[in-house]
Amino acid sequence: MNRNATIAGLGTALPPSTAQSDLWDDYFAQHYTGARRTLAKRIFENSGVRTRQAAVSPLLEDVSDWTTEQRMRRYQIEAVPLGKEAVSRALADAGLGAGDLGLFAVCSCTGYATPGLDILLARDLGMSPSVQRLFVGHMGCYAALPGLGAVSDFVTARGRPALLLCAELTSLHLQPAGVRADFQQIVSHALFSDAAAAVVVTPGGPGYVVQDVAAVTDTTTADHMTWDVTDVGFRMGLSPRVPAVLELHVRTLVDDLLDRHGLSIGDVDGWAVHPGGPKILDVVQDQLGLDSGALSASHEVLSAYGNCSSPTVLLVLDALRRRAAPPRHVVMLAFGPGLTLYSTLLLRS
């Protein structure tokens, strides 16, 4: 039996979109003065983001002074329909029903409750009562890749389809004005956005075979990227030294992954790189020696959707597979707390 774990379907769901310039002019600009305002405006303008989406837009509803309890209650209200839309589209794309799934995995670091998205969506979409469930929490922007590795292992071992949903509502974690003036919060508020993306993985069939997953974590820089639970939501810590850490590790990670399959960087015709920000993409391009167009899909996703945390790398993969000539070999790269780098090798069957 052919049990290659294959991405057979992909679906996305996005809340309403707003222009980056409108977010600055009509909300964020009012919270800074003097040199801090000049700095914040420059960060917003150089973020690489043109439009981004929010389930709870600050232009309509300011949640910055909400308690964490209020934010978590709103998370369930907003995330369930968004996740349902992404999962339904992925299943339709794969030609499967919810009852066909053997495993349903959910990645999210922006909201917690029990019963969670895995239980509520399994119920609402008609998954089998015997479906196995997995929740991956607080891994941040790279969570889609270990999540994909877990569901792929299930498919290979059990010979049954699985589904991975990544759903993030970063808009719920807008920080109060005093905290918002911190440099790291300015960067966070200039980049992050909301989205959901789901992939169906099947044993064999047409699609992208998940050939391998690799990771490296530099625990000496664990404080460079943080996501702390506070009384007023979750607060991002984002050191400007993150690109330098990626610079140290990304080439070795990718070379080792490709070497195991007799491939080199020149054999890869599709790069799905998490667009954590323009500097992140510049470092990856430079360290891997890629041409100027190799990361175009990542730049396009950053511009149109912002950094949506865990779903973002799946949005980039979706953009690649929709091209007139989809790439054959795809390397996915994502980065997050740890500092952790994850890489996944896909082969179009």
Q: Where are the beta strands (DSSP E) in the chain?
A: 5-13, 17-19, 51-53, 103-108, 132-137, 162-169, 194-203, 208-217, 225-230, 233-238, 270-273, 329-336, 340-348
- Which domain does 116 fall in, by range? 5-203
For β-strands 225-230 and 208-217, DSSP reports them as unpaired
**Residue 181 pLDDT:** 79
pTM: 0.97
**Residue 2 pLDDT:** 59
**Residue 112 pLDDT:** 95
Domains held by the chain: number: 2
Average confidence (pLDDT) per 10 residues, the chain, 349 residues: 86 98 96 91 97 97 97 98 98 98 98 96 98 96 98 97 98 90 91 98 96 97 94 94 95 98 98 97 98 97 98 98 97 96 97
**Residue 63 pLDDT:** 97
Residues 96 and 221 in one domain: no
Residues 222 and 194 in one domain: no
**Residue 178 pLDDT:** 81
**Residue 73 pLDDT:** 97
Residues 262 and 197 in one domain: no
CATH number of the structural domain spanning residue 233: 3.40.47.10
**Residue 153 pLDDT:** 97
Residues 134 and 227 in one domain: no
Residues 48 and 147 in one domain: yes
Neighbouring residues of 75: CB distance < 8 A, sequence distance ≥ 6: 110, 111, 112, 113, 169, 172
Residues 123 and 227 in one domain: no
The structure tokens listed for 142 are: 């790279």
